[in-house]
Structure 1
Amino acid sequence: MRARSARDAGAPRRRSLATLPKAHLHLHFTGSMRHTTLLELAERDGIHLPDSLVGEWPPELSAADEKGWFRFQRLYDVARSVLRTEEDVRRLVREAAEDDARDGGRWLEIQVDPSGYAARFGGITAFTDLVLDAVASTSRDTGLGIALVVAANRTRHPLDARTLARLAGQYAGRGVVGFGLSNDERRGSTPDFGPAFAIAERAGLLLVPHGGELRGPGHVRVCLDTLRPGRLGHGVRSAEDPGLLEEIVERGIALEVCPVSNVALGVYSDLTSVPLPELLAAGATVALGADDPLLFGSRLAGQYATMRAAHELTDEQLAELARMSFRASRAPSDLVAKALADVDAWLAAPA
């Protein structure tokens, strides 16, 4: 056996983050695509991709102004355009699940706006049926639990959101667990989407709007008062208002924090500036998510790894983050119980 060097002896022993069981609660449908798959499908159909999605990948991004967000959205729309067939959709779901499972994922709630694919796949209902069928078969094949969050687009009319809320409600208990609101947080009037969220709430769905990333705690307050979230997509800037953060903790609202995308979009200058320690110190429930790995270049385990490095998190803290991700999920109780036991086993094992 090789003797440990002085350097080995002084270095902290850390457990593998790839084997830490996790639930993934903030992953967008198109954004979950593998970069290699994007290139392959684009070449198949002769779709021209911008250099930032080819040789310069992952792209340099910023959402500090309207132009920056427009560029981000344009890249997202280009990526969506390569999904042309039912098999493409099934492949995306399968590969996203395989990647999460490789990163220690046990449960995935993947978010999709069916209206973005309706024209090519026969309407919002037909597309939702396709995705749910892909989710069911992929879950059987990979062993990863998967559910769907239907998300409205805040740059579209609030009446469209009501249509999607009714659609999501029809599938409540049949693969759809939540209803969200995504796209540029600075666009549209958040209270106008309240009726759509009321429809989803009556259907028993978890309410998971984006808020508190591109806009500050004032907008988090608007989301809390008008959309009644059970979880908040991002929500990281609630750290700027201790009173608001205290209310979030008291109401049991979980925050889906996506560190790598926060930095890539210019919300924070670097990973050490992401206020995860402040959120945890206040008692917030935090679930780390990858957001859009296709555009940010980092998947689920990478979020844990970057926060471990940036904030010198202990294995005990990382294990608690993993536990919180399951507790904030809509995973079945037996899956949660098994996962929590396995998190304890991960922590009990030698580093």
Structure 2
Amino acid sequence: MRARIDKLGLDLPFIFHAGETQDHGSDTDTNLFDGILLGTKHIGHGFSIIKRPLLMKLCKEWNIAIETCPIINEVLGLCPTTKAHHPILLSNCVPCTIISDDPGSWGASVLSHDFYQALMGSNNLSIPGLRVIAEWSIEHSCMSSDMQEKVYKDFEEKWFVFCQWIIDAYG
């Protein structure tokens, strides 16, 4: 499939939903291998990857991001709190993003709920850590390089304003 896409000169990134389970060794768990070997750009959920150090290492080396979904992982019972998953990925320098999976199903309309849960759910995640996750979100998006540059510039400007607000309000 990838060879045909390349031959046609298309830019069609593979993005797989894999590893949304606690059932280590199941088909849902082992599809992480398939996604990585097929050259995915990032993996949706990827919850069970934290039990597979080799796959985390490959994601780090091959720059494959893992989408973390703090609220839905807790709702689905994949983890008892939002303290598991993205902190493990971050501590292993595995690119990860925070997304809001099916936000309409629980009445959310913005991503900030998941970022808030990620920040409050971990004693080790700080404002700079959230910045890294936000930057990885831009880097691993499916936007063109030009669009990524524009978005990153806009992010930089807004980040500066946000940090200044924190200093003014709490410093």
Q: Which residue of 2 aligns with 1:218?
A: 30
Deviation of the 1:201 alpha carbon:
6.1
Partner residue of 1:340 out of 149, 152, 158: 152
Residue identity opposite 1:247 in structure 2: L
Aligned to 2:14, the other structure's residue is in SS state strand
Deviation of the 1:251 alpha carbon:
1.2
Q: Which residue of 1 aligns with 2:93?
A: 283
Deviation of the 1:228 alpha carbon:
2.8
Q: Which residue of 1 aligns with 2:79?
A: 268
Partner residue of 1:300 out of 111, 116, 119: 111
Deviation of the 1:335 alpha carbon:
2.9
Residue identity opposite 2:130 in structure 1: L
Q: What does the per-residue CA deviation read over 1:193-245, in whole Å, with 9 as the maximum and x for residues that have no partner?
A: xx5x66556543010111011254533123323x3312111113211121220
Moved more, 282-291 or 296-305: 296-305
Q: Distance in 1 between matches of 2:122 and 2:3?
A: 38
Residues 258 and 201 from structure 1, CA distance in 2 versus in 1: closer, same or farther, beyond 3 angstroms?
A: farther
Q: Which residue of 1 aligns with 2:169?
A: none
Structure with the largest fraction of strand: 1
Partner residue of 2:63 out of 252, 276, 287: 252
Residue identity opposite 2:154 in structure 1: D
Q: Distance in 2 between matches of 1:209 and 1:252?
A: 15
Deviation of the 1:333 alpha carbon:
2.6
Q: Distance in 1 between matches of 2:11 and 2:61?
A: 21
Contact 2:97–2:133 (8 Å) recurs in 1: yes
Contact 1:211–1:223 (8 Å) recurs in 2: yes
Q: Which has the higher contact order (CA 8 A, sep 6+)?
A: 1
Residues 222 and 311 from structure 1, CA distance in 2 versus in 1: closer, same or farther, beyond 3 angstroms?
A: same
Q: Distance in 2 between matches of 1:222 and 1:296?
A: 31
Contact 1:257–1:289 (8 Å) recurs in 2: yes
Deviation of the 1:297 alpha carbon:
3.3
Contact 2:96–2:137 (8 Å) recurs in 1: yes
Residues 200 and 293 from structure 1, CA distance in 2 versus in 1: closer, same or farther, beyond 3 angstroms?
A: farther
Between the aligned residues of both structures, percent identity stands at 24
In the alignment, structure 1 segments of 5+ residues that lack a partner are 1-194
Deviation of the 1:342 alpha carbon:
3.3
Superposition TM-score, scaled by structure 2 size? 0.78
Q: Which residue of 2 aligns with 1:208?
A: 15
Contact 1:315–1:347 (8 Å) recurs in 2: no
Aligned residue pair count:
154
Q: CA RMSD in A?
A: 2.2
Runs of 4+ residues deviating >4 angstroms: 197-202
Superposition TM-score, scaled by structure 1 size? 0.40
Contact 1:210–1:234 (8 Å) recurs in 2: yes
In the alignment, structure 2 segments of 5+ residues that lack a partner are 167-171
Q: Distance in 1 between matches of 2:78 and 2:33?
A: 18
